[in-house]
Amino acid sequence: MNHLIFVEIVYYVSYFAIIPLFILSIYFLLKKKFIDLFLRHISGFIIGLIDQLLMILFKWQSNFYLIVLIFNYELYGIWYLIMPDWRKVKNLKICLVFWSIFSGLFNTLLENIVRIYSYGNLNYPVGWTIIHTIFFYLGMHSLGTFIATINIISKKINIMKK
Using alpha carbons, select from 53, 89, 88, 91 the residue that is nearest to residue 69: 53
Using alpha carbons, select from 75, 68, 74 the residue that is nearest to residue 54: 68
Given phi > 0 = left and psi -120 to 50 = alpha, else beta, which region is 37?
A: alpha
Q: Going residue by residue through the chain, which has 162 residues, state the pLDDT in tens, using 9 for 90 and above.
A: 566 788 899 999 999 999 999 999 999 999 999 999 999 999 999 999 999 999 999 888 889 999 999 999 999 999 999 999 998 888 999 999 999 999 999 999 999 998 888 888 888 888 888 999 999 999 999 999 999 999 998 888 776 666
How many alpha carbons fall within 13 Å on the CB side of residue 147?
A: 23
Identify whether the C-beta of residue 137 lies closer than 8 Å to the C-beta of residue 104.
Answer: yes
pTM of the model: 0.89
> What ranges do the domains of the chain cover?
6-161
